[in-house]
Amino acid sequence: MQTVLDLALGGISLGAIYALMAFALSMALATTHVLNVAHGLILVLGAAAATYLIQVRPVGILAALAVVIIGAALFGLAFESVFVRQFLGKSPEEILIGTILVTLGFGLAVETLLGYYWARWVHPTPSFTLSFPWPHLRLGWVTLSGTRLAILTLAILAIGAFHLFLTRTPLGKATRAVAQNYEGALILGLNPRLISLTVYIVGITATAISGVLLALAIPLDPYTGTRLTLVGLTVVVIGGVGSLPGALLGGVLLGVAEVLTAYTVGAIWSPVVSLLVFFAVLVVRPEGLFGRGSG
Amino acid sequence: MIRGIVGALVLVALLPPLFLTRDLIAAIYFTFLFMILAVNYDLLGGFLGYVNLGQGAFFGLSAYAVILLLNSGGLDALGAADIPVAMALAILFTLAMTWSFAYPLFRLSGAYFAMGTFAMVLLIQQVIVNFPGLTGGTYGIYVNPRHYLSLHLAYYLALGLLVLSLGLNLWVTRSRLGLAVNAIRGSELAAAAIGIDRFRVKRRTLLLSALPSATAGAIFGLQAGYIDVDAAMGVEKTLLPVIMAMLGGSGLVAGPLVGGVIVRGIDIVLKNYLHLAFPALAIYGMILMGIGLLMPHGVLVFLRKRREAGFR
């Protein structure tokens, strides 16, 4: 019973993190058609910043989270104006080749430098891992890990805030309109640059938060970024572009599959399973299990 | 004229093993290998418009296959013919794997296709690492010294293969397949409307692009004497060909060569002469970023456009 509960909670909290970061990826795809290959790296950067702040120059976890959020928002602003802005309104092929080159190159440079300098000045084997000082929760004869509950709570709060932003605020509604129909939204007079800026600031902040949460669940290293981008893309392929329910279902499906694999055959097979799920979904249902097409 | 230049270059390339140091011969040999991958990459990435971030997978699979076949001892009865037979079998195995990946991959297009090919590389890497009993896992595998290829032989094989790869690309631009590829690149819908079987054309192009890469991988494995996942299909083998093709000019037969000379030139200067305390991958990353921002169509197209602008 305890094991089943642990596995379920582990899978769902991992899935909630995946859903949060995949939804940020898919909103960016839907509104600007930019595939950010460095998306996974942003999780790693969030985790690295939090690890550095909390463990190397000790500040409290909430202060660290606040710094990560503000830093991520500024990073999103810079990322959009340097890498995304100039591609807006170009043909999909041009956007694709240009942004793949740019984000791939950026990711490669940053992850190499991060690994190199962390190994040189902070710790010889870079690894970003955090814990949350919540006590274990005892419910009758089962115990729930405090860290996992904290992950789940924070992830649900972040997803909820993202959802409320998109459905309740004028800017969020405009963003959804651009995601659904780019030309239509332009005819209505919506400003595509403002929307793109919003998507990247909000999306990158959400992604950096999910990186901090992921570091609470599993240890990360500088080179996990690409794999995480693929995890995000798998969730988008399963759930459909721009769909929050799809991202939640896809994320939880993948999270549970990874946790079960790690428990039954060993953690080394978890990445294989998530990649196999990716290819299996493509063969069986290329239009996504729960939503619109995958491009 | 282009044939003349290529012929002259090949003649010059025949000479280095006679007088250069072993380090420099090895550096040029690696340049050939990367150029083969870049030229092959361009068949799909440049001509068809499908960015393949997994070219290194064909290279690495074949390298592993040839070493495992020879190490298993099953081919010992063939005597001196064991190396060519093992290479042929390894290439066939790689083509079979490529064939089976074609179906899921070509259900994707655009950015998703690119990421799908990257997923393919990661999947193959992880599976190799997870079977240490067979593949040596993260420790890699050694070639039995009696199967080593000498550097000079590998150098000439790679040079020949590079010329053949260029010939393949030239042939494709002039063949029926090339016409179909061009039609698909122009418009998938229109190509389908005039009766082109898009999936078969794409799969055939993918297989053609995998064939020389797999051959190069088999040569690389036997010459290196030792491979692990990173050497056989790491970031360098998967991304450098893309960088080279895009830097030179994707879709032009000479593009990958120009890009290859630039990238490898930078690498040789950094590693052999400057001894920078700075990882080379970071520099590749910045070059890639710079190209994407400043000249997304490559150096050759960039120069041509500037010249045209100058004449106006």
pLDDT for position B132: 86
Question: Closest Cα of chain B to A287: distance in Å?
Answer: 9
Nearest chain B residue to A94, by CA: B296
Q: How far is CA B200 from the centre of its chain?
A: 22
A105 closest CB neighbour out of B116, B130, B292: B292
End-to-end CA distance of chain A: 42
Neighbour count for residue A230 (Cβ, 10 Å): 24
State the pLDDT at residue A50. Answer: 92
Residue B134 or residue A80, greater confidence: A80
User: Is A116 touching B (CB cutoff 8 A)?
Assistant: yes
Q: How far is B189 from chain A (nearest CA, A)?
A: 14
Say if residue A31 is exposed, middle or buried (CB neighbours under 10 Å; 0-12, 13-18, 19+): buried
Q: Is A242 helix (H, G, I), strand (E, B) or coil?
A: coil
pLDDT of the residue at B176: 92
Cα–Cα distance, B46 to B40 (Å, whole number): 10
Looking at residue B275, its pLDDT comes to 65
**pLDDT-based confidence at residue B180 (cuts at 50, 70, 90):** very high
Going by pLDDT thresholds of 50, 70 and 90, the confidence category of residue B63 is very high
Residues on chain B bordering chain A, Cβ-to-Cβ distance under 8 angstroms: 49, 51, 103-105, 107-112, 114-116, 118-119, 122-123, 126-127, 129-130, 235, 239, 246, 250, 278-279, 281-293, 296
Task: Express as a percent the part of chain B with pLDDT over 70.
Answer: 96
Closest CB from B115, B130, B292 relative to A272:
B130
How many helices (H) and strands (E) chain B has is answered by 15, 2
A chain contacts of residue B118, beta-carbon cutoff 8 Å: 226, 230
User: Which positions of chain A have pLDDT values less than 50?
Assistant: 291-295
Distance of CA B267 to the CA centre of its chain: 17
DSSP B264-290: HHHHHIIIIII--SS-HHHHHHHHHHH
Residue in chain B nearest A274 by alpha carbon: B123
How does B207-244 read in b/e, with b if 16+ C-beta sit within 10 Å?
Answer: bbbbbbbbbbbbbbbbbbeebbbebbbbbbbbbbbbbb
CB-nearest to B130 from A230, A268, A295 is A268
Q: Please state the ipTM of this predicted complex.
A: 0.78
> Is-contact A252 A212, C-beta < 8 A?
no
Three-state secondary structure call for residue A138:
strand
Is the distance from CB of A226 to CB of B53 less than 8 angstroms?
no
A230/B118 CB distance under 8 A: yes
Cβ separation of B122 and A227 shorter than 8 Å? Answer: yes
pLDDT of B290 higher than 80: yes
pLDDT of residue B312: 46
Pairwise CA distance, residues B242 & B39, whole Å: 9
- Cross-strand partners of B226: B142
A37 contacts in chain B (CB < 8 Å)? 115
A 256-275 near B (Cβ less than 8 A): 268-269, 271-272, 275
| B269 — pLDDT class (breaks 50, 70, 90) | confident
The two three-digit tokens of residue B101, written as one number: 């990946």
Are B225 and B269 in contact by the 8 Å Cβ rule? The answer is no
- Cβ distance of B279 and A116 shorter than 8 Å: yes
CB distance A264 to A7 below 8 Å = no
Instruction: For residue B214, give both structure tokens.
Output: 């797999």
Residue pair A27/A191 in contact by the 8 Å Cβ criterion = no
Q: Which of A282, A285, A292 to mutate to test the interface with B (most CBs of B within 10 A)?
A: A282
Residues 6+ apart with CB under 8 A from B125: B60, B229, B233
Q: B73 to chain A, minimum CA–CA distance in Å?
A: 30
B2 — pLDDT class (breaks 50, 70, 90): low
Q: What is the pLDDT of residues B235-245, one digit of tens each?
A: 778 888 888 88
Exposure of A265 in the CB half-sphere (CA atoms within 13 A): 11
User: The whole model's pTM is what?
Assistant: 0.84
Least confident range of A53-67, A248-262, B156-170, B172-186: A53-67
Test the B interface: residue of A103, A104, A111, A292 with most B CBs within 10 Å: A104
Q: Pick from A98, A230, A295: which is nearest to B110 by CB?
A: A295
A143: left (phi over 0), alpha (psi -120 to 50) or beta: beta
Nearest to A282 among B107, B118, B284 (CB): B107
Sequence spans of domains, chain A? 19-224
Inter-chain CB proximity B111 and A35 less than 8 Å = yes
A286 to chain B: which residues are within 8 Å by CB?
Answer: 107-108
Q: Which residue of A has its CA nearest to B110?
A: A96
* Structure tokens that stand for A105 in this block: 């190159």
A169 phi, psi to nearest 5 deg: -100, 150
Q: Which of B110, B122, B282 has the CB atom closest to A112's CB atom?
A: B282
Cβ separation of A226 and B289 shorter than 8 Å? no
**Chain B nearest C-alpha distance from A46 (Å):** 20
pLDDT at A293: 40
DSSP strands (E only) in A142-290: 142-144
A-to-B residue pairs, Cβ atoms closer than 8 angstroms? 129
Tell me which chain B residues have a C-beta less than 8 angstroms from the C-beta of A116: 278-279, 282
User: Are A286 and B108 an interchain contact pair (Cβ–Cβ within 8 Å)?
Assistant: yes
Distance from chain centroid for Cα B159: 13
Average pLDDT value over all residues in chain B: 86
End-to-end alpha-carbon separation of chain B, Å? 27
Name the phi and psi angles at B249, rounded to 5: 145, 105
Q: Which of B65, B47, B87 is nearest to B212 (CA)?
A: B87
